[in-house]
Structure 1
Amino acid sequence: MSTDPLAMPTASQRLLDSEGFFDFVSQEMRSGLQVKDRTHNFKKYPACFTGKEAVAFFMAKKYAQTEEDAIKLGNCIMEMGVFEHVTRDHELKNEGLFYRFSSQGASAEQEVPKLSWADAVLRPNNESKLAVGLQPQMPSWDNSGFTVGVKDLNVSPLDEHNVKLLDNVHPAQWAEPSPTKEKYNLVVIGAGSGGLVTAAGSAGVGARVAIIEEHLLGGDCLNVGCVPSKAVIRCARAVYEARNAAQFGVKVTGVEVDFGAVMERMRRIRAGISSHDSAARYQSLGVDVYIGHAKFTSKDSVVVNGKELKYAACVIASGATASVPPIKGLRDVPYLTNASFFNLTELPKRFGVIGTGVIGLELAQSMARFGSLVTVMGRSGKILEKEDRDAVEIIQKQLVEDGIIFKLKCQYKEVKQAADGTIEIHVVNDGNIEIVEVDQLLVATGRTPNVEGMGLEAAGVEYDKKRGIIVNDNLMTSTKGIFAVGDCSTEYKFTHVADFMARTVIRNALFFGSGKMSSLLIPWATFTEPEVAHVGLYDTDLYKKGIKFNTFVKKLSEVDRAITDGQEEGFVKIYVKEGTDKILGATIVAHNAGDMISEISVAMQAGFGLGSIAYVIHPYPTQAEAIRMCGDLYNKTRLTKFVKSMFRNLLAWRRK
């Protein structure tokens, strides 16, 4: 027998080597063999396959190399009660005899996959030390039944947590449904936030829905974005609090960071949450789940795994991937993106970041607090370019205090890897020639929409490689009946935006609705510490639009709870239309700004003015009182000289 653990032994060798192999092939039979009604001697036998078809299937799948082995394999599975002859009087033969699957257990479409990624025997040269020998006693078997290889999924190490994750969001073995001639009401391409919400919501109102995902259900948010990054950020905050506990009269000595434990905690949390986005859960919701690459063949059909799915409407939710700038030599070094950062298990002594946006700064601050020497490089001279400059000043000050070195006027010349593994970034920074040496380099320079290789041309869907799929305000593409949501079709690349785009498109695609993207009020937050959150328009937007406005600011240094928390760096800033209390936009800098911004979002969505917020009782003491205080500031402006004069005269009269 081959020493290669992934080599394919013959069926007779399998009979000796692997008891689990029979369960595996049984499931493959259920999903791979065509069953249909057949007639013999004028009698109809429903849902059957023939012995010839079974033997041909085993040999085509290379579960057997000879007809004799195929018949032996089939009879072993038959003895397990998986299938039977329609009259129970024949063993499996390579003839046109009729057999049917046993009624015991679920059908292929309902069956929960039994094969786990933990069953995989990884190659000895696998890069992950934790993955090697996960189950060293597992008998070798053919890996062709796996939906895709472990390395292709870019999930490492293959410990118990990542095994659980993969079993949920990209099962090792998935018995997908067989499409019928009946059209789907909706086919969804991509199972990130936008795709999953679209599929679940549509199935929930009775639509026949299919969703197609070739990588990991849950998309970036669950796997390489919001969930893992916030788990890591929370650990970094704990380190910071421990090291700075003396200001609260708490002496903490010898603070050590176990980076491996930090990342293990992240993997455990991510795996636990992954059940919400699992293939099995969406199947239970009535969604047909296909795992593979989707490609359009016409305006009303798409192909996945060789199967054609016809639809009345389609929603593209293909997401986006990390952009990699065309810097000389960069693609020749082992750089990280958000898709690979969360595979780290050891803390690099020196950590470099190319990019000054949200992803880069959130992870840069965390790594600095864990103990890495962090250098952040950019070209524009600024960080968080779209944010309020007063907010950015506070954030950058804190990042510098955390130990981050900024080089913000870089011209990138070349990236090289030295013999010892050090990555060298050659730059001209503010006129000075410099070489930045790091052990790990994160590239965080934006997101590129996933639009190529999907056959969009065959469907007549217009797209731009940089902007993504072109949609109108109703989220419809250039082809009637095909819509797009999420990162592949909007500049607002946030999970919550994809969620609400999906809610809009369900109405438009299924019920002739006219929901508009422009009607969505979109808040967002950057989860550095302190956080910065925003909703509505910035002052720069208002100036460009020629809208006259007033600004009301309350500093946290004037808010009791912020003072007692030792979190005085920050503010609430609210813009209102001049002469009214209509809120046009707001920015908050605070340690929980992402939570606080929702109060202003609710007010804007409901049409409540800033003056009304002043009359909302807030618990004391909370940092959210700063929002109410802005309302008080507005109401004071209504006390004009004339009104004050009237009040003085009235009160003087009442004293008589």
Structure 2
Amino acid sequence: MNRKKLVLIAIIALLVGLFIVFDGHQLLTLANLQAHQASLAQWIADNTLAAVGGFVLIYIAATALSLPGAAVLTLAGGAFFGNLLGLAAASVASTAGASLAFLAARFLFRDTLRQRYAETVRRMDRGIEKDGAFYLATLRLVPVFPFFLINLAMGLTGMKLRTYALVSWLAMLPGTFVYVNAGTQLAQIETLGDIVSPGVLGAFVLLGVFPLVAKFALGFVRRRRVYRGFQRPQQFDYNLVVIGGGSAGLVSAYIAAAVKAKVALIERDRMGGDCLNTGCVPSKALIKSAKAADTMRHADRYGLDSVPVQGSFANIMARVKRVIAQVEPHDSPERYRKLGVDCIAGSAEFVSPWEVAVTHHDGRRQILTARSIIIATGGRPAMPPIPGLERMEPLTSDTLWSLTEQPKRLVVLGGGPIGSELAQAFQRLGSQVIQLEQGDRLLAKEDPEVAELVQRQFERDGIDLRLRHRALEFAEEDGERVVYCGREGADNPEERVRIGFDRVLVAVGRSGNTRGLNLEALGIEPERNGTVPVEDDLSVRFPNVFACGDVAGPYQFTHAAAHQAWYASVNALFGQFRRFRVEYRVMPWVTFTGPEVARVGLSETEAQAQGVAYEVTRYGIDDLDRAIAESEDHGFIKVLTPPGKDRILGAVVVGQHAGEILAEFTLAMKHGLGLNKILGTIHPYPTWNEAAKYAAGEWKRAHAPQLVLRLLEKLHRWRRGKPGNAASTAVESQQL
């Protein structure tokens, strides 16, 4: 940090320190203002110019230094100078002080921010250049955030000073007038009876109503502004058009049809989306085959003879396709047409916020109009830009289901949930899997102890797990496919690890599907990962355009897509009356490795990062009778609660049937039930879900009231009688 910045920081610290030392926070209060009102009024009347000048300087200093008391100063402007002069002084001073705070934040922090987060700053500046003035005006008119935060935050952007000052002055002017006017009425309060005078009551009503009126007016202006350049149809073909027939799109269309709206569902490929065709359903079918192979290979755990696993990989994949076909009718066009949904096969692109152009598979083009449109186009596997990778015909979670021949040596890129599930499945089915992960552990979003338990099982399964390995280049040498990796922590940074393989599976994340939607026609710019930026109500820039599922993020799970779809469809159909904000507080997920990893709420790592106070309750599944009976006695449950309370902040289950066990904790979190309620619930014996009850029992044991227990112990001893009396009573009983 250069000398000029240090000097400015020192000056600010000195002024703030003086403010604290001389009890400035006590001076800038309404009570102090009223206490000294009479004594100041005469002096101000005799020295108006000096008084106004001093008032402006104090106001500028308070605003520039982000000190508390700006609202009281604005009231003081009305109380001492009246409406006209008070408004002029307060509005000029507040704008000047805000501009100084804006410049200070820019001078101190913007360069550092730009160096560390260059791409983020560039995107932020593009947005500010496009819509910054409007959003600044919105924040000033409806003070959702304190003004000092707006001053500092805007200073970090590329907004020009003159734009910032002019917009701030104009947007703060109505609110400043309301406060100044209230101050003129406060100056008239001498007795309690004055409080109910029409003038004072009117000022307070205006003070309370202004944010609501401003919010309504801004909403109207925003709607007019965002739709500028588009012609709204006089009538509509549909109440709702849904683009995409995956989990999010299907649920959206189902809800709309259930409430008798006219809805169209457009799908360019296969109904059911990733979950049915390339994701949840086929992967779980493959994992089940792999688990069966592992059971046969280790049948001696159950008192049987272990047998070598023999089978046709083509038969396994044929079973996967049969499973898909069996589930497919649940998501079929026929079923949804019976529900009242117009299912259309084709590609869709936006023409306007109310119009979608559909290109049918036969080449026919059709324009559909709808009051609301939902984007539910899902996601696709991300492909990293590694030299030579494309020539290796890489497999992804989308394409591997066309395999009929099992790879002998399979390289898996990625140690996340998808990569880990498929790596273990292929290893258990007989491939030699080499799993490459750049980080220092698998499942980076889980706690280290969770990842360690899964990693130990992977090593027992025979997976060649290469942590801290980053794929640098793919090549074909002497008829063999190879990948060269950099290894973090190697003695020689230039050393490259050579690994031979037959096929490579890429599982390094997913991107949102927005190609071909013509979002640029609506001025919608996708994020770097392909997802579209959504508001809390899942709208995308326009109040009638929504997104849900993988294309919206932040969670790319089937159940998250269905959860979002409810909010998107309800807001799309009834948003003119009321809008619901999507809520992610209780979002469970499961990684279907062996052992399974299931989590809801905060992990311990996240709690530490967020500074959340917590305590941990653990229960080892090796103690569970059902687990012991099935020779699956490994894993644990970990529950986070606030210190001394049984409210669940988060829970993770690692082990067999973890996903099913987690459901009880998810239900408890959703409905505000604590561990005491779980403990008080009857669980049939012997079941896996008893583990949840025993975990609750561990919490109860750790929080048993020790003082009460000691008193009870004394009570029971007293009720048994003194040791001497007890002994003599026993002797007498024997004699009788």
Deviations 1:2-38 (A, max 9, x none): xxxxxxxxxxxxxxxxxxxxxxxxxxxxxxxxxxxxx
Aligned residue number for residue 503 of structure 2: 440
Aligned to 1:588: 653
The CA distance in 2 between the partners of 1:413 and 1:568, in whole Å, is 40
**Matching of residue 630 in structure 1 with residue 695 in structure 2:** yes
Q: How far off is 1:539 after superposition? A: 1.2
Q: Which position in structure 1 is the counterpart of 2:154?
A: none
1:458 aligns with 2:521: yes
* Structure 1 segment 105-116 matched on structure 2, within 5 A: none
2:678 maps to 1:613? yes
SS in 1 for 2:470: strand
CA distance in 1 between counterparts of 2:583 and 2:525 reads 20
Query: Following superposition of structure 1 onto structure 2, how do residues 335-354 of structure 1 map, counting pairs within 5 Å?
Result: 335-354=394-413
Give me the whole-angstrom Cα distance separating, in 2, the residues matched to 1:407 and 1:632.
Answer: 39
Counterpart residue number, 1:392:
451
In the other structure, the counterpart of 2:368 is: 309
Kept in 2, the 8 Å contact 1:350–1:372? The answer is yes
1: CA distance, partners of 2:714 / 2:604: 39
- Aligned partner of 2:383 in structure 1 is 324
Name the structure 1 match of 2:270: 216
Work out which of the residue numbers 512, 534, 550 in structure 1 matches 2:615.
Answer: 550
Q: 1:505 aligns with which of 555, 558, 568?
A: 568
Deviations 1:484-507 (A, max 9, x none): 100011121000000111112222
Do the aligned partners of 1:462 and 1:478 also contact (CA within 8 Å) in 2? no
Which has the larger share of strand? 1
Gaps of 5+ in 2: 1-232, 360-364, 722-736
Identity of aligned residues (%): 38
Q: What's the offset of the Cα at 1:286?
A: 1.3
Report the equivalent of 2:665: 600
- Which amino acid in the other structure matches residue 454 of structure 1? L
SS at match of 2:301: helix
Instruction: Tell me which residue corresponds to 1:358.
Output: 417
**RMSD (Å) for aligned C-alpha atoms:** 1.8
Which residue pairs with 1:495 in the alignment? 558
Deviations 1:318-349 (A, max 9, x none): 11111011101111221101111111111111
The answer as to 2:481 corresponding to 1:429 is no
2:336 corresponding residue in structure 1: 282
Q: Report the alpha carbon displacement of residue 419 of structure 1 after superposing the two structures with TM.
A: 6.0
Residue 704 of structure 2 aligns with an amino acid whose one-letter code is L
Cα distance in 1 for partners of 2:440, 2:330 equals 41
Q: State the SS of the aligned residue for 2:594.
A: coil
The letter for the 1-side match of 2:569 is I
Residue 192 of structure 1 aligns with which residue?
246
Paired residue for 1:475, among 526, 538, 554? 538
Q: Which residue of 1 aligns with 2:626?
A: 561
**Does 2:571 align with 1:517?**
no
Q: Describe the SS at the equivalent of 1:489.
A: coil
- Partners of 1:475 and 1:485 within 8 A in 2: yes
Q: How many residues align?
A: 477
CA contact 1:461–1:479 (8 Å) conserved in 2: no
Does the aligned pair in 1 maintain the 2:514–2:551 contact within 8 Å?
Answer: yes
Q: CA deviation at 1:463?
A: 2.6
What displacement does 1:428 show? 2.3
One-letter amino acid of the counterpart of residue 186, structure 1: L
The structural deviation recorded for 1:418 is 4.5
Say whether residues 1:270 and 2:270 are aligned partners: no
> Partner amino acid for 1:563?
I
Amino acid at match of 1:475: L
How far residue 568 of structure 1 moved from its aligned partner, in angstroms, is: 1.8
* Partner residue of 1:541 out of 582, 606, 614: 606
Deviation at 1:520, TM superposition (A): 5.0
1:356 alignment partner, SS class: coil
Q: Distance in 1 between matches of 2:341 and 2:384?
A: 38
Q: Please, which moves more after superposition, 231-240 or 384-393? A: 384-393
Q: Deviations over 1:22-76 (max 9, x none)?
A: xxxxxxxxxxxxxxxxxxxxxxxxxxxxxxxxxxxxxxxxxxxxxxxxxxxxxxx
Q: Are positions 1:574 and 2:639 aligned together?
A: yes
Question: How many angstroms does 1:408 deviate by?
Answer: 1.7
**Equivalent-residue separation in structure 2 for 1:185 and 1:254 (angstroms):** 59
* Partner in structure 2 of residue 241 of structure 1: 295
- Output one character per residue of 1:84-108: Cα deviation in whole Å (capped at 9) or x when no partner: xxxxxxxxxxxxxxxxxxxxxxxxx
8 Å CA contact retained: 1:212, 1:294: yes
CA contact (8 A) 2:436 2:471 kept: no
SS of residue paired to 1:607: coil
CA offset at residue 181 of structure 1? 6.3
The answer as to whether partners of 2:481 and 2:502 remain within 8 angstroms in 1 is: yes
Q: Is the alpha carbon distance of 1:484 and 1:500 closer, same or farther for their aligned partners in structure 2, counting shifts above 3 Å? A: same
Q: Report if aligned partners of 2:661, 2:691 keep a CA contact under 8 Å in 1.
A: no
SS at match of 1:338: coil
Indicate conservation of the 8 Å contact 2:614/2:643, yes or no.
Answer: yes
Letter in 2 for 1:570: G
Q: Distance in 1 between matches of 2:606 and 2:472?
A: 35
Q: Amino acid of the residue matched to residue 353 of structure 2?
A: K
Residues 191 and 180 of structure 1, relative CA distance in 2, 3 Å threshold: farther
For residues 204 and 605 of structure 1, do their structure 2 counterparts lie closer, same or farther at Cα, with a shift above 3 Å needed?
same
The equivalent of 1:226 in structure 2 is: 280
> For the Cα contact (< 8 Å) 1:300–1:459, is it kept in 2?
no
Q: Is the 8 A contact 1:449 1:465 kept in 2?
A: no
1:283-302 pair list within 5 angstroms: 283-302=337-356
What are the equivalent positions in structure 2 for 1:17-416 lying under 5 Å apart?
A: 182-305=236-359, 306-416=365-475
Give the 3-state SS of the residue equivalent to 1:566 in structure 2. Answer: coil
CA shift, 1:415, in A, is 0.6
* Equivalent-residue separation in structure 1 for 2:395 and 2:714 (angstroms): 71
Cα distance between partner residues in 2 of 1:413 and 1:609: 49
Checking the alignment, whether the CA contact within 8 Å between 1:239 and 1:257 is kept in structure 2 is no
C-alpha separation between the residues in 2 aligned to 1:560 and 1:281? 44
- Provide the rounded CA distance (Å) in 2 between the counterparts of 1:253 and 1:586: 38
Task: State the secondary structure of the residue aligned to 2:326.
Answer: helix
Q: CA deviation at 1:244?
A: 0.4
- Once the two structures are TM-superposed, the CA of residue 462 in structure 1 deviates from its matched residue by 4.2
Give the whole-Å Cα distance in 2 for the aligned partners of 1:631 and 1:327: 48
The letter for the 1-side match of 2:437 is G
Letter in 2 for 1:360: G
Contact 2:392–2:503 at 8 Å: present in 1 too?
no
Structure 1 contact 299–458 (Cα < 8 Å) conserved: no
Separation in structure 1 between the aligned mates of residue 663 and residue 682 of structure 2, nearest angstrom: 16
C-alpha displacement at 1:618, in angstroms? Answer: 1.3
The 8 Å contact of residues 467 and 490 in structure 1, kept in 2 or not, is answered as no
Question: Helix, strand or coil: the match of 2:654?
Answer: strand
- Would the aligned equivalents of 2:538 and 2:568 in 1 still touch at CA under 8 Å? yes
User: Once structures 1 and 2 are overlaid, which stretch shifts more, 457-466 or 501-510?
Assistant: 457-466
Partner Cα distance (1:637, 1:360) in 2: 38
Of 326-335 and 247-256, the range deviating more from structure 2: 247-256
For residues 382 and 588 of structure 2, the distance between their equivalents in structure 1, rounded to whole angstroms, comes to 24
Shift of the 638–428 alpha-carbon distance from structure 1 to 2, 3 Å rule, reads: closer
The TM-score with structure 2 as length reference comes to 0.63
The answer to whether 1:647 aligns with 2:701 is no
Q: Distance in 1 between matches of 2:703 and 2:607?
A: 23
SS in 2 for 1:457: helix
